[in-house]
Amino acid sequence: MRHNVVLIGFMGTGKTALGRALASRLGRPFVDTDVLIEERAGRPIPRIFAEDGEAAFRRLEAEVVAAVGNAQGSVIATGGGVVLNPENMAHLRRGGVIVALRAAPAAILARVGRGTGRPLLGADPEESVRRLLDERGPLYDDADLVVDTSTLQPEDAVRLVEMFAATWKGRDGRAPGAGGGAAHVVRVAAASRGYDVRIGRGLIDHAGGYLRDLGPAGRAAILTHPRLDALYGVRLAASLRAAGYDPVTITVPAAETSKSLRAADRLYGRLLEARLDRGSVLVVLGGGVAGDLGGFVAATFLRGIAWAAVPTTLLAQVDASIGGKTAVNHARGKNLIGAVHQPVVVIADIDTLASLPAREVRSGLAEVVKTGVIGAPGLFAYLEDCLGAVLRGDAEARTAVVARCAAYKAGVVAGDEREDAGRIVLNYGHTIGHGIEAAAAYRGVTHGEAVAVGMTLEARLAVRLGVCDAGLLERQTALLRLAGLPVRVADLRLAHRPAPDAIAGAMALDKKARAGRLRFVLPAGVGRTTVRDDVPPSLIREVLDDG
């Protein structure tokens, strides 16, 4: 029996268009449950809502879903609320692979014409979309595959779903890329080269197949750290060999000193010894150090070769591995020598987070909270409810967090690949945070800890400037503390805490400064920011003194 491909998701995510294209490509029947409901009722859905009410519509919807669930080999597009009834999902799961389509609120509103003819959106479509997405998000995330269509081209979305459905083994088996849970695929539509971010459990064992399908051939090299090589490198190399590659593994110390031109030179030599050529691929297994060094070397070796990121830290999975920013350090500053070189794929295996020390998990959560504040209010609310599960290591909670962060950053990168404009929003908390790191000589404080303090102090700037109210600062501070992160310079676990003068001096060297004026990304509300370059130096110093 051929299984159905069932598309679920909110209105405006592309279920009908993608479903028709996929059915045509697979040579299968296409079924739209909303069309069947209208045929059975003899009226369009807005009239059913208006004349009979939502409860009557849901009963009719359940009857139709029960009938189509018995189909075989069809592509089925469902209404956005079908997930609200567990019996609906039981019928659809019985013979089908469930694919959830997601999209950012702005993309949804653009597609549905600000809610015209959509009875659930009411007088305030934007608020309704955000509320309904928050309510239904966990139900959509329970799918076998989750695809964010915010910036994804229709043909790319069809390709992703087709590839997944072809390899799906059912819920009793271990689907490639699913690892027993949902496999999320986020498309980064960068101008120079688009690529997928694959998020799920057990992905390392399928990395070779992903790369082979993307085109890189011939020799392959793995760059990682000794500890990670023992934990995951052997499995990664085995996956590459099974896909026809002949990988060589190169290790560097897991320390900031590895992000140097000297380390890059040694890596160039090893790649030459391994006879890598322009068609080869460098697979980077690790966190920020390996990602920055490996991406930089891939960008410059033989004038650029393909590379793939396999991030193993929460910080790298939610932020550093997405966007193609690569760099090594210079004696005069961090990340001063680099390039923007997009990977061919990012493979975020959630299982690798289980081996992280608790402090590293907390450090990564600073970037997660940042994402919620600057542009993902649903994520912020989710953290307020479910942060404990993330800290305990719940794989589903961690998958949801990584997927939401990846989807947000993918949209930002698609709009501003080289940080010419909108991408600056990602620097919330980093102007002061980088100053703290530099003043501490990058010792004794993690990047996430410095950013957590930076976010708190920059939110205080926003409150004192009247950009946001104190309630946002209080919610953010409570969430950071719940994550076990510092919110004041005095909270940092340093033998010698940097003085305000030292932090201010380091901030003066910030790469984002223009004409000697610091630019701050300040929160205006959860999910909204503004960029200011007119913050009085006296106010900056006041906040640093208080912090």
Asked if 220 and 321 sit in the same domain, the reply is: yes
Structural domain of residue 29, as residue ranges?
Answer: 4-172
Asked whether residue 528 is domain-assigned, the answer is: yes
The number of domains in the chain is 3
**pLDDT on residue 542:** 94
Asked if 85 and 220 sit in the same domain, the reply is: no
Asked if 197 and 293 sit in the same domain, the reply is: yes
In the listed set 307, 322, 356, which residue is the last one of a domain according to the structure? 356
Asked if 277 and 344 sit in the same domain, the reply is: yes
Nearest to 350 by CA among 204, 152, 196, 530: 204
Q: What distances in angstroms separate CA 328 from CA 191, 229, 288, 310, one per listed residue?
A: 24, 22, 11, 19
- Which CATH number fits the domain that encloses residue 163? 3.40.50.300
Asked if 202 and 125 sit in the same domain, the reply is: no
The answer to whether residues 538 and 392 touch, using CB atoms and an 8 Å cutoff, is no
**pLDDT on residue 177:** 39
Asked if 12 and 153 sit in the same domain, the reply is: yes
List the pLDDT tens digit at each of the 547 positions of the chain.
468 999 999 988 999 999 999 999 989 999 999 999 999 999 998 899 889 998 999 999 999 999 988 878 899 999 999 999 989 998 898 878 899 998 888 888 888 775 555 666 667 778 888 888 878 887 887 787 888 888 777 888 888 888 777 766 554 443 433 343 456 888 888 888 889 899 999 999 999 999 988 887 778 999 999 999 999 999 999 999 999 999 999 999 998 889 999 999 999 999 999 999 999 999 999 999 999 999 999 999 999 999 999 999 999 999 999 999 999 988 877 788 999 999 999 999 999 999 999 999 999 999 999 999 998 888 898 899 899 999 999 998 999 899 889 988 888 888 878 777 778 899 999 999 999 999 998 889 999 999 999 999 999 999 999 999 999 999 999 999 999 999 999 999 887 889 999 999 989 877 666 667 899 999 999 988 999 999 999 999 999 998 7
Asked if 94 and 33 sit in the same domain, the reply is: yes
Tens of pLDDT, residues 343-396: 999 999 999 999 999 999 999 999 999 999 998 888 898 899 899 999 999 998
**pLDDT on residue 188:** 87
Asked if 287 and 156 sit in the same domain, the reply is: no
Asked if 203 and 104 sit in the same domain, the reply is: no
The answer to whether residues 528 and 438 touch, using CB atoms and an 8 Å cutoff, is no
The answer to whether residues 432 and 453 touch, using CB atoms and an 8 Å cutoff, is yes
d(CA 148, CA 196) in angstroms, rounded, equals 10
Asked whether residue 55 is domain-assigned, the answer is: yes
Asked if 500 and 454 sit in the same domain, the reply is: yes
User: Which residue's entry shows tokens 């929160």?
Assistant: 523
Residues with catalytic roles: 303, 325, 367, 409, 419, 423, 427, 430, 434, 447
- Which CATH number fits the domain that encloses residue 473? 1.20.1090.10
In the listed set 172, 202, 229, which residue is the last one of a domain according to the structure? 172
Following DSSP, what letter does each residue of 360-371 receive, concatenated? HHHHHHHHHHHH
Backbone phi, psi, residue 292, to 5°: -65, -45
Asked whether residue 416 is domain-assigned, the answer is: no
Asked whether residue 325 is domain-assigned, the answer is: yes
d(CA 532, CA 28) in angstroms, rounded, equals 54
List the beta strands (DSSP E) in 49-136: 75-77, 96-102
- Which CATH number fits the domain that encloses residue 223? 3.40.50.1970
In the listed set 312, 340, 356, which residue is the last one of a domain according to the structure? 356
Asked whether residue 387 is domain-assigned, the answer is: no
Asked if 121 and 245 sit in the same domain, the reply is: no
d(CA 380, CA 387) in angstroms, rounded, equals 10
